[in-house]
C-alpha cells in the first residue's frame, strides 16, 4: 500500500517534469508568435479569461459621472474618437481597415453593439454600468500585447469620459451623423 510519502514524491516528480517540459517548449521557439496565426483554443481562452477577469476587477470601483449623456461630451468625445480610435475600431459605413485585418486579436468594431459584433465581454456587460466602467478602464490603461494603448499619459479622465460618452451613441449613428458629430472644423474651441 503506497504511503503518503510516495504520493508526495509522485507529485513532486510530476511537477518537475511539467515545469521542465514547459521550459523546453518555451525555449524551443516552436510556438507561432505571428499575428497571422491564431492562438489555439486553450491559449485563447486562458488569455481572454485572464484579460476579462483582470479588467472587471480593476474597473469595478470606477464612479461613472452623472452627466455622461450631454451634447458637449458627445462633441468632444466624437472628435477624439475619430482621430484616435476609428482607424482600429471603425466608423459607420466602414467594415474593415488595415488594422482590423492585420491585428490579432482583431479590435472590436465599436460601431456595432456588443451583441452584434460577437465579441464576448463576459457576464458583467449584462449590466450597462459595468460595460461603461470597462470601456473607461480600457481606454485609460490599455491592454497589454493587444495593440490597445493606454491613453492616460496624454489624456485626463474628463477627456476619456467624453470618449466613453460618444461610444454609448456610436452604434446608432449613420455615416452622415457621424461626420457632423466628429468634425473639428466648425468651432472646436468650445469642445475642449
Partner 1 sequence: MKGKHFSSLIALTTLAIAFSVQAHDPKEHMKDAEKPDCAAMKNMDHSKMDMSDPMMQAMMKQCMSEMNHDMSTSNVAPDETQSEQQKSEHQH
Which residue stretch of 16-24, 46-54, 65-73, 118-126 sits at the interface with partner 1 (rule: CB under 8 A)? 65-73
Burial 144-182 (b: 16+ CB within 10 A, else e): eeeebeebeeebeeebbbbbbbbbbbbbebeeeebeebb
Q: Taking the complex as a whole, how short is the minimal distance between the CB of residue 54 and partner 1, in angstroms?
A: 22
| Residue 80 binds to partner 1 (criterion: CB under 8 A) | yes
Binding mask 110-149 for partner 1 (x = CB under 8 A): ---------------------------------------x
Q: Which of 179, 182, 190 is nearest to 78 (CA)?
A: 182
How many alpha carbons fall within 13 Å on the CB side of residue 11? 6
The DSSP secondary-structure symbol of 58 reads H
Closer residue to partner 1, CB minimum distance, 39 or 169: 169
Supply the DSSP symbol for 151. Answer: -
Phi/psi for 151 (5° steps) reads -95, -5
Q: Which helix (H) or strand (E) holds 166?
A: helix 157-169
Site string for partner 1, 14-53 (x = CB under 8 A): ----------------------------------------
Taking CB under 8 A as the criterion, the residue among 58, 84, 106, 112 binding partner 1 is 84
- Binding flag, residue 154, partner 1 (CB under 8 A): yes
Residue 123 beta carbon to partner 1: minimum distance, rounded to whole angstroms:
29
Residue 151 as a binder of partner 1 (CB under 8 A): the answer is yes
How far is Cα 108 from Cα 136, in angstroms, rounded to an integer?
15
One of 55, 56, 59, 74 touching partner 1 (CB under 8 A): 74
Smaller CB distance to partner 1: residue 122 or 171? Answer: 171
C-alpha cell belonging to residue 66: 452623472
d(CA 47, CA 55) in angstroms, rounded, equals: 12
Interface with partner 1 by CB under 8 A: which range of 4-12, 24-32, 34-42, 73-81? 73-81
Amino acid at each position: 500500500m503506497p504511503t503518503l510519502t510516495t504520493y508526495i514524491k509522485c507529485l513532486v516528480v510530476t511537477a518537475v517534469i511539467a515545469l521542465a517540459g514547459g521550459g523546453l517548449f518555451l525555449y524551443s521557439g516552436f510556438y507561432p508568435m505571428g499575428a497571422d496565426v491564431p492562438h489555439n483554443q486553450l491559449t485563447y481562452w486562458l488569455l481572454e479569461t485572464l484579460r476579462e477577469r483582470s479588467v472587471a476587477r480593476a474597473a469595478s470601483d470606477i464612479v461613472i459621472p452623472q452627466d455622461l449623456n450631454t451634447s458637449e461630451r458627445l462633441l468632444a468625445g466624437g472628435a477624439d474618437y475619430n482621430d484616435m480610435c476609428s482607424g482600429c475600431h471603425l466608423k459607420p459605413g466602414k467594415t474593415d481597415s488595415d488594422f482590423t485585418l492585420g491585428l490579432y486579436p482583431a479590435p472590436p468594431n465599436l460601431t456595432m453593439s456588443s451583441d452584434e459584433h460577437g465579441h464576448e465581454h463576459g457576464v458583467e456587460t449584462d449590466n450597462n454600468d459595468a460595460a461603461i466602467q470597462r470601456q473607461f478602464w480600457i481606454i485609460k490603461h490599455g491592454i497589454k500585447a493587444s495593440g490597445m494603448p493606454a491613453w492616460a499619459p496624454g489624456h485626463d479622465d474628463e477627456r476619456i469620459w467624453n470618449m466613453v460618452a460618444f461610444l454609448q451613441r456610436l452604434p446608432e449613428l449613420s455615416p452622415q451623423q457621424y461626420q457632423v458629430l466628429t468634425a473639428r472644423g466648425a468651432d472646436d474651441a468650445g469642445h475642449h
